[in-house]
Structure 1
Amino acid sequence: MGILENKSNARIFYKYLSKVYDRVNRFNWTEEMRAEALSWLEFGDDPKVLDVGCGTGFGTEGLLEHADDVHGLDQSVHQMEKAFEKFGRHDRVNFYRGDAERLPFRDDTFDVVWSSGSIEYWPNPVEGLRELRRVAVPGGQVLVVGPDYPHNPVLQRVADAIMLFYDADEADRMFEAAGYEEFEHHIQRATPQSPRAITTVARVPGGDGTDGESGSTAADADASTVDAE
């Protein structure tokens, strides 16, 4: 387990990273990559959407282009404060402090569940993926963006020491263990020199009375809620 897969370490890390996160993040996770990922989702009419690990709200911003009923959750107060400054006062976004592995929402609540740049910090990613599936409606979609496992052996050792990096085979294992039966992986990259992101789009079983086809192609929640009017 990498050092940042410890939730206390991750909170301290983001306390300081939040000050420069928006400037740093754009080099690895761009608006173009976000738009491409959003194009793989089906929002339908009046969707209810959850952004898990919303951070400073980069994913939230994209989701607001497709939905009015948007909710964001993060364990870092400092990251979430940045997101609330952007959207909480002006847009219909509800922000919650909570844990991806113990989401404070009822079953079958959201039409789309999005999580970008968060799974790599989860100590138990399969449990987190189960939670995303639990709060999504049957037939809804779950999209997860994480860091693709590097090919260079030296970089692999560094990656393993820091946080979760995973390839398509490991993504297959995690999503199957979490109960997903229909999903696909996409590799995204800002530039040829940038780190690769692995983006998985999964369908939650049960929406049409079938479970889909198996396989793929290619801390406690805080009860406090910040509601934007």
Structure 2
Amino acid sequence: MGVLEDKANARLFYKYLSKVYDRINPFIWNEEMRDEALEWLAIEEGDRVLDVGCGTGFATEGLLRYTDDVHGLDQSRHQMEKAFAKFGTRDRVRFYRGDAERLPFADDSFDAIWSSGSIEYWPNPVAALSEFRRVVKPGSRVLVVGPDYPNSSLFQRLADAIMLFYDEEEAQRMFEEAGFVDIEHHIQQAYPGSPRAITTIARAPEK
């Protein structure tokens, strides 16, 4: 387990990263990549959507173009304070401080779930994905963006020491184990040579 998959370490990390996050993030995960992924999720007007690991609200901004019913959850108070400054605490988005592995919502609460830049910090990704399946409506879709596993053995060792990096095979295993169906994976990249993102879209089975 990487050092940042410990929840306390991740919160401390984001306490300081939150100060510069919105300036650094576009070099790894930019608007074009976000907007492409939003098209894949195919949110409809009026859908109730959960943004898990909403952070400073970068993805939340994109979600609001599709629906006014957006809910954001994050474990980092410092990241969420940046989001509050953009959207208010209860004006455009309903925010919750919480854990991806223990979502504070009833079964079948959402029409779609989005999560970008969060899975790499989860100690138990399958448990979190199982929670996604629990709170999303049957037949609905979830989208998760995480860091693609590097090709270099040196960078692989470094990645494994820091947080979760994974490839398409591992993503397929995690989503299948969590009970999802119709799973598809896309590799996204801000520019040649930049870190790659693996974006997985899956559907909760009908009951």
- Bin for the TM-score computed over the shorter chain: over 0.9
Deviation, 1:91, is 4.6
Q: What residue number does 1:25 align with? A: 25
Per-residue CA distance 1:44-88 (angstroms, 9 max, x = gap): 341000000000000100000101000000000000010011012
Alpha-carbon distance in structure 2 between the residues aligned to 1:105 and 1:39? 26
Q: Secondary structure at the match of 2:197?
A: strand
Q: What residue number does 2:53 align with? A: 53
Q: What residue number does 2:64 align with? A: 64
Q: Secondary structure at the match of 1:29?
A: coil
Q: Secondary structure at the match of 1:36?
A: helix
Q: What residue number does 1:222 align with? A: none
Q: How does 1:130-169 map to 2 (within 5 A)?
A: 130-169=130-169
Q: What residue number does 1:188 align with? A: 188
Q: What residue number does 1:202 align with? A: 202
Q: What residue number does 2:177 align with? A: 177
Deviation, 1:186, is 0.3
Residue pair 1:88, 1:95 contacting (<8 A) in 2 also: no
Q: What residue number does 2:87 align with? A: 87
Q: Secondary structure at the match of 1:140?
A: strand
Per-residue CA distance 1:175-212 (angstroms, 9 max, x = gap): 01101121100000000111000000111110xx7xxx
What letter corresponds to residue 69 of structure 1 in structure 2?
D
Residue pair 2:45, 2:66 contacting (<8 A) in 1 also: no
Alpha-carbon distance in structure 2 between the residues aligned to 1:43 and 1:153? 38
What letter corresponds to residue 62 of structure 1 in structure 2?
G
TM-score (norm 2): 0.98
Q: Return 5+ residue gaps in structure 1 as ranges.
A: 210-229
Alpha-carbon distance in structure 2 between the residues aligned to 1:194 and 1:65? 27
What letter corresponds to residue 157 of structure 2 in structure 1?
R
Q: What residue number does 1:8 align with? A: 8
Alpha-carbon distance in structure 1 between the residues aligned to 2:161 and 2:90? 40
Identity of aligned residues (%): 71
Alpha-carbon distance in structure 2 between the residues aligned to 1:43 and 1:82? 25
Question: Is structure 2 residue 66 aligned with structure 1 residue 44?
Answer: no
Task: Mark the CA change 1:89 to 1:180 in structure 2 (over 3 Å): closer, same or farther.
Answer: closer
What letter corresponds to residue 119 of structure 1 in structure 2?
I
Which structure shows the higher helix fraction? 2
Alpha-carbon distance in structure 2 between the residues aligned to 1:89 and 1:133? 26
Per-residue CA distance 1:135-184 (angstroms, 9 max, x = gap): 10111110000000000000000000000000000001100110112110
TM-score (norm 1): 0.88
Matched length: 207
Residue pair 2:188, 2:196 contacting (<8 A) in 1 also: yes
Residue pair 1:59, 1:116 contacting (<8 A) in 2 also: yes
Q: What residue number does 1:119 align with? A: 119
Alpha-carbon distance in structure 1 between the residues aligned to 2:91 and 2:36? 23
